[in-house]
Chain A
Amino acid sequence: DTAVSQTPKYLVTQMGNDKSIKCEQNLGHDTMYWYKQDSKKFLKIMFSYNNKELIINETVPNRFSPKSPDKAHLNLHINSLELGDSAVYFCASSQDLTSGSPFTDTQYFGPGTRLTVL
């Protein structure tokens, strides 16, 4: 059984389009995250959600918006896609962000979604 799944695995689209990447976890975790990794492997956390509350919002463009319909899902919506958005986007989840030290709970990562903007 897949713990953290993302769809699609690959996404190729034109500049200016709006797209979504879906993430689901079946681990019963309280916290989910989105990370962006660019072609040089530079990694950046974008968002995390705990109990439907956004608790970290790094300085990402507001074209990016996380949507959490329920605890098991955290989808990433991107409007007006730009060339610089091309990257691999990773979703992750952890048990509980607030019960102790931040980010010390083991995070389980999805396989990544490779987004290519043409």
Chain B
Amino acid sequence: GEDVEQSLFLSVREGDSSVINCTYTDSSSTYLYWYKQEPGAGLQLLTYIFSNMDMKQDQRLTVLLNKKDKHLSLRIADTQTGDSAIYFCAEISSYSGAGSYQLTFGKGTKLSVIP
């Protein structure tokens, strides 16, 4: 079945760049997502990338997709203490447009930003 893997923890110093990595197994993935969950809160969709793209940039966020290796990364430039959260990678596959698809989340990477 589909599987999404992430490392569980990452620590960076404030002002440095953070890179959160994710690997997935389903080659039919159409969209890949990054969600952020702050302590005690629900999820917030940060960004997404379509599978025919290699890179997407949105302000401090850069998403890189290596479809051959099934590897997705999220780079946060100039990491701030407010970026401390759990980041979930997710993929959607088998999208038919007719309401038949699966959304699979990774286990989440806890980012700790050291002042």
- Min Cβ gap B7→A in Å is 14
B42 touches A90 (CB 8 A): yes
Contacts A53-B99, A92-B42 given; indicate if A101 touches B31 (C-beta within 8 A). yes
Chain A nearest CB from B42 CB (Å) reads: 3
How many whole Å from A118's CB to the nearest CB in chain B? 23
Q: Is the CB of A92 within 8 A of B43?
A: yes
Known: A56-B103, A92-B42, A92-B43. A102 touches B108 (CB 8 A): no
A12 at the interface (CB under 8 A from B): no
Contacts A104-B48, A107-B43, A111-B42 known; 6 new A-B pairs at CB < 8 A:
A42-B105, A50-B99, A92-B43, A103-B92, A104-B31, A109-B41
Q: Which residues of chain A have a CB within 8 Å of any CB of chain B?
A: 35, 40-45, 50, 53-56, 58, 90, 92, 98, 101-104, 106-107, 109-112
